Structure 1
């Protein structure tokens, strides 16, 4: 349930925000720790940033997400004439 909440959330969520959305008996910090361990070493990691939790692309794969920078090129004289 916590995994689904974090995945669907439009922004990172705090432990308190997660606790408001799950049954009282759920140990949110323990579930978060277990999920973080489960996702470790995968392409997506569960991380805590600024006191809130979110899924993030693994740092070792960040290069795959960078957009290629386009180099502006001047048109040749022949290309300009057409």
Structure 2
């Protein structure tokens, strides 16, 4: 079997691309300046982790991720004031 034609290889590549695209969207979204949000895909779900200064920023990040992908989005963002 040729590794480069394996369906798991393409699935992993698609997951990486999805996470990278969402992270890029979050990095340049209005209202999310200064947020520290990481994006990962795990077991078919998008996982958002990090910190945001307020609930509105958390809601915006979840909304952006949800609009970009049909995968479920899990929010592990902590609201905390930056120091």
TM-score (norm 1): 0.29
Structure possessing the higher radius of gyration over alpha carbons: 1
TM-score (norm 2): 0.28
